[in-house]
Amino acid sequence: MDEDEKKDMCPICKTDRYLSPDMKFLINPECYHKICESCVDRIFSLGPAQCPYESCDKILRRNKFKTQIFDDVGVEKEVDIRKRVFNVFNKTLEDFDDNQESYDKYLEEVEDIIYNLDNGIDMEKTEERLRTYEELNKHLIMANLERSKQDLANFEQRQKFEKEMKLKKRQLEKQIEEDERANREWAKREIVNQLTVNEDAEEVIENVRKTVKLKKSSARRKLEELNKVLRNNPSMTMVNGRMKKRDVVPFTPFNGDRDLHKRYELVENEYNDSFIRDLQKKKEYIASGFRTDLVYNRMLTEAFMGLGCVIKEELKTS
Amino acid sequence: MTVRSTAEDYTKEKKAGEGTYAVVYLGTKKSTGRSIAVKEIKTSQFKDGLDMSALREVKFLQELRHINVIELIDVFMASDNLNLVLEFLPADLELIIKDTSIMFSPADIKSWILMTLRGVHHCHRNFILHRDLKPNNLLLAPDGQLKIADFGLARLMGSPQEVLTSNVVTRWYRAPELLFAAKHYTSAVDIWSVGVIFAELMLRIPYLPGKDDVDQINVTFRALGTPTDKEWQEVSSFSNYNKIQIYPPPSREELRRRFIAATENALDLIDGMMIMNPANRWDTVRCLQSPYFQELPEATLPQDLPKLNK
Amino acid sequence: MPTGNDISEATPAEGSKDAATKRISDDDLYRHSSQYTLWSFTKEQLLEKRRTLNARVVDKVNERLQNTISSHTDLSQDELDAIKETAVPVSVDEELKFVNFFARKVQSFCQSLNLPTEVGATAISFFRRYFLMNSTMEVHPKHILLTSIFLACKSENYFIGIEAFAKKTKSQPAAILKYEFSVLESLRFTLLNHHPYRPLHGFFLDIQHILHGKVDLNYMGQIYSNCKKRITETILTDVVYHYTPPQITLACLLIEDEALTLKYLELKFGNVGVPSEPESAEAIIEEAKSEEAKSEEPKSKESKSEGSKSEGSKSEGSKSEGVKSEESKSEETKSEETLSSSKSGSTINLDLLTALVVECKDMILNVEALSKEEATKIDARLHYCQNPMLLVDRLRRQKQQRDSSAEVAAEPDSKKLKV
């Protein structure tokens, strides 16, 4: 049996992919031994069990099995380890105040850990190192995780924006095309028309051309504008440190300039206020945009504005 | 005894401008070296004592403290003239819009509109109507912050029974209810102005440039459709309603073409600010909560905004 | 209850180097007003302010009296006695009462001019504030009276041209305008007043909600208009310097109907789950919790009062102490609690609020007014301590008249009060 054939056969049940094209191989990051899906189902249906490979004593769980992405199991393993380590060691250059040297040192350290885990060197000690670091840097890790999520969201939004703009661009280009076709036809007709009254063909053509120029569609101007936007939008393309840092802070539309805990509840139907109600019925009030809720809100806001200020305490000079 | 400030505390270095009721000088506060502008109110000309514009300006600026509202640093009397010491603000939005050598991006526009809305929100939270919002009253500080200025037409939101004058706001920025001479209008008039400014920032030309008051009505409704009783109750009861031309409202597609670089959220916001019926027009809270401010591109940081080329 | 998308407001931190990023509650908004920053005082501060002002002027007046006496060597003993007796500088208390006496005149003028309530209140406020900065011995209240009204009309969008105004008040435009800038300067160019009228309207609405179905609506209307009158009275007193508009309004409501007001406050701010308002009671607690969770932002700036009390002994002692103002006052200083707890600006400590409002009510009810006779006397003293020689002249004239006709001349002072 050659290597190629081996690749498509489950070493446990010996089913061949050639015969059952639906067959899927799964691996478990504990040992990276390849097993077909139906074997996994069978062997691990009752709970954790030992790897069916001879000479492998790893205990495997069914929910840890995953589809193999890389052909080379070695690569698959390294990628997994990297993912795991970088989820914990997720600092960026920014976290080192842009000090490249210390960042490099940090990266080297991370590479050491990955290398050790990948090659089974000092496994226990290395695992311990990973755990300790995780324990000590919980907050930072969480924050950085959040940030990369945000980065992804931003990226998606940016893509959406650009897509939107490009769609508009296409529409505009189509419009320009149409406009120009219409212009050309108009010019043809116009020249014929004018030649019936004016003999000087050159003058007629010149005149029509001028008018066509003036008619240069507004779509074209808009296209230029749009191109400018796509070209000159620093925040759309900016991925340097400063923008990322800003993303960590949530945007606050009011910057705190708002009372979120009003001391009243507006219940218009419980207010018997004949004065306001009468106004509400007047045409000139309705037409002006008069709104009873605005009036009530103002009165109520003022009723409680300063209720909690105790002048004799707050202004006491001590 | 309280220490009152005097002309001695400030220098007036050069005359920066002269209006109908005031002369503006640039100078510094001696004790701190801070750049300031002194607005010297010409008092002698008014037979009724202190001019109403000056009085309003002082009255409201004394109460407002917000990063997006011009700071009134001090007030003093000198040789029978009232002097307002204001923070020095070298540019305004009108200059930026008109300067064709300045390029600005959607993120910049977002930043200016955000700061404008925050300033207006603070005024409205204090129940103050500005009633004269326009690009040239939105001043720009050296650090890029936008500051609402000129409170000469401002007033407290009226008690419901009060009659307000509709002769407010510079023509191009005047809300439809004002064009109809409404007497009981609300803070929605300021929102309309911000909407027009938003449009102007995107177009780089005035959005609704009426030649006179009659033309303003025509220009406004031609661009945005003539309101009817259906979406604006009792609008037909305004005395000049029956004289106006009926135009259809623009379609969404039409608006998309008009504001070519605007995202859907940006269009929603400008739409909300320019709803004809003032009762349905968005307020500052609704505007500031618009997804437009949450979506990318993020508003440019004030210090990174385009500046006038000196 | 708050509306809209609140989660996004958790931590205002964008551009956090700016001072403006602090959460601003409605109470904070009031704390930013000129009425609070410039025109609110503790009782001690207010008294000190008046004393300093009075003392400064009294010294000047006495010096002038002394100078007059020493420069007029021809004064008889009778005349010297008269000067000592009549040309006496007025005391702090007398000044205050005299100003208030005239403030009432401001009020009746406004009423006779049919000015809106708010305009009248502002005029009184301007007038009384002016005399916190100026002594009646320097400027007679009658000179400021019309100017205050004229300025209030302008400030409250009730503009009356000076000619028309002078005509209506039978005065001279120049006399009114002469003091306009002096008044403005004394007001330190702050013109915006927060009167309790709108708060009253607000409470009128909120009471209907909190006591829904338990209160007669016609009766509420009655309470409303009575309270409105009472508020106008408070504008004439010092409570405006010591209490905020909502507190003054509640004090007026308390005078009008104590049971109703206390019931309302209890249902509104009593923290124990009240059957009729279980939701909102819970909501307040919930809010307090969530606020606590997110109040990492430094609150230090506003905590003039709160800073000192933040570690506050959580003794429940004062809570059960109850309503009597005297007790709770002393209790309040001991147990370091605040009316509106520092952690959550919206919750109100019912007992402290009640105590505060009762205190304010007592102050409203204890205002002494000046009788016309007393006012006349003070008026004469103000007149003569500024111009002692006029007194001497008058004595001499009277003596002449007595000598010639033996008839006693009529008191001229009573006329002067008819402004």
State how far the alpha carbon of A169 is from the alpha carbons of A127, A234, B79, B267, C116, in Å.
Answer: 54, 19, 63, 17, 60
CATH superfamily of B8-87: Phosphorylase Kinase; domain 1 (3.30.200.20)
Give all strands (DSSP E) within chain A, no chain letters: 25-27, 35-36, 49-50, 59-60, 66-67
Q: What is the least distance, in Å, from the CA of C86 to any CA of chain A?
A: 38
Among this protein's residues, is B271 annotated catalytic? no
B91-300 CATH fold: Transferase(Phosphotransferase); domain 1 (1.10.510)
Range(s) within chain B of domains with CATH label 1.10.510.10: 91-300
pLDDT band at residue C153 under the 50/70/90 scheme: very high
Task: Identify the active-site residue in B92, B108, B132, B150.
Answer: B132
Q: Do B285 and C15 touch (CB under 8 A)?
A: no
pLDDT of residue C217: 87
According to the per-residue pLDDT averaged within each range, which of A23-32, A237-246, B223-232, C275-284 is highest?
Answer: B223-232
Q: Which of A243, A314, A318 to mutate to test the interface with C (most CBs of C within 10 A)?
A: A314
Q: What angle do CA B73, B77, B83 make, to 5 degrees?
A: 45
Asked which of A78-82, A275-279, C135-139 is least confident by mean pLDDT, the reply is A78-82
Instruction: Please indicate whether residue C1 or residue A202 has the higher confidence score (pLDDT).
Output: A202
pLDDT of residue C284: 34
Task: Tell me the pLDDT tens digit for each residue of B167-189.
Answer: 999 999 999 999 999 999 999 99
Give CA–CA dist A291/A302, Å, rounded: 17
| C-alpha of C136 from chain center | 18
Q: Do residues A137 and A84 lie in contact, with contact meaning Cβ atoms separated by under 8 Å?
A: no
Quote the longest CA-to-CA distance of chain A. 102
Q: Where do the structural domains in chain A lie, given as residue ranges?
A: 8-68, 159-232, 265-307
Asked which of A85-99, B77-91, C319-333 is least confident by mean pLDDT, the reply is C319-333
Residue A250 forms contact with C (CB below 8 Å): yes
Q: What is the mean pLDDT of residues A168-178?
A: 83
pLDDT band at residue C271 under the 50/70/90 scheme: low
Percent of chain B past pLDDT 70, that is, above it, reads 97
Percent of chain C past pLDDT 90, that is, above it, reads 52
Percent of chain C past pLDDT 70, that is, above it, reads 74
Q: What is the least distance, in Å, from the CA of C160 to any CA of chain B?
A: 9
**Counting beta carbons within 10 angstroms of the beta carbon of residue B84, is it exposed (0 to 12), middle (13 to 18) or buried (19 or more)?**
buried
pLDDT of residue A175: 83
Query: Looking at residue C8, what DSSP letter applies?
Result: G
State how far the alpha carbon of A59 is from the alpha carbons of A104, B203, C302, in Å.
Answer: 37, 68, 62
Binding residues of B: 39
Instruction: Please indicate whether residue A193 or residue A199 has the higher confidence score (pLDDT).
Output: A193
Give CA–CA dist B39/C191, Å, rounded: 18
Q: Closest-CA residue in chain A for B176?
A: A288
The answer, yes or no, to whether residue C288 has pLDDT greater than 90, is no
Bridge partners of B37? B26, B86
Q: Closest-CA residue in chain B for A154?
A: B296
Range(s) within chain B of domains with CATH label 3.30.200.20: 8-87
Using DSSP, how many helices (H) and how many strands (E) does chain B show? 10, 10
The answer, yes or no, to whether residue B293 has pLDDT greater than 90, is yes
Quote the longest CA-to-CA distance of chain B. 66
Q: Do A288 and B183 touch (CB under 8 A)?
A: yes
Q: Do B107 and A157 touch (CB under 8 A)?
A: no
Q: Do residues C237 and C364 lie in contact, with contact meaning Cβ atoms separated by under 8 Å?
A: yes
Bridge partners of B25? B15, B38
Q: Do residues A65 and A28 lie in contact, with contact meaning Cβ atoms separated by under 8 Å?
A: yes
The answer, yes or no, to whether residue C345 has pLDDT greater than 70, is no
pLDDT band at residue B202 under the 50/70/90 scheme: very high
Q: What is the mean pLDDT of residues A144-154?
A: 77
Which amino acid, residue B193?
A: S
Q: Do residues B73 and B36 lie in contact, with contact meaning Cβ atoms separated by under 8 Å?
A: yes
H or E segment and range at residue B148: strand B146-148
DSSP C141-158: HHHHHHHHHHHHHHHTT-
Task: Tell me the pLDDT tens digit for each residue of A277-314.
Answer: 899 999 999 999 999 999 999 999 999 999 999 999 89
Give CA–CA dist A169/A164, Å, rounded: 9
Average pLDDT value over all residues in chain C: 78
pTM score of the predicted model: 0.74
Task: Tell me the pLDDT tens digit for each residue of B82-138.
Answer: 899 999 999 999 999 999 888 888 899 999 999 999 999 999 999 999 999 999 999
Neighbours of chain B (3+ CB pairs under 8 A): A, C
Give CA–CA dist C30/C196, Å, rounded: 13
CB proximity list for B234: less than 8 A, separation 6 or greater: A283, A284, A286, A287
pLDDT of residue C13: 38
Q: Closest-CA residue in chain B for A237?
A: B297
Instruction: Please indicate whether residue B20 or residue C342 has the higher confidence score (pLDDT).
Output: B20
Average pLDDT value over all residues in chain B: 91
pLDDT of residue B3: 53
Q: Do A164 and B264 touch (CB under 8 A)?
A: yes
CB proximity list for B113: less than 8 A, separation 6 or greater: B194, B197, B198, B201
Chain A residues touching residue C13 (CB < 8 angstroms):
249-250, 252
Of the candidates A161, A290, A291, the beta carbon closest to that of B296 is on A161
Asked which of A28-42, A202-216, A232-246 is least confident by mean pLDDT, the reply is A232-246
The answer, yes or no, to whether residue B308 has pLDDT greater than 90, is no
Asked which of A180-194, B271-285, C190-204, C271-285 is least confident by mean pLDDT, the reply is C271-285
pLDDT of residue C190: 96
Q: What is the mean pLDDT of residues C328-338?
A: 44
The answer, yes or no, to whether residue C397 has pLDDT greater than 90, is no
Domains of chain C: 19-39+195-290+305-365 (no CATH), 43-186 (1.10.472.10)
Q: What is the CATH number that goes with domain A8-68?
A: 3.30.40.10
Residue C202 forms contact with A (CB below 8 Å): yes
pLDDT of residue A166: 80
Q: Do C208 and A270 touch (CB under 8 A)?
A: yes
The answer, yes or no, to whether residue C297 has pLDDT greater than 50, is no
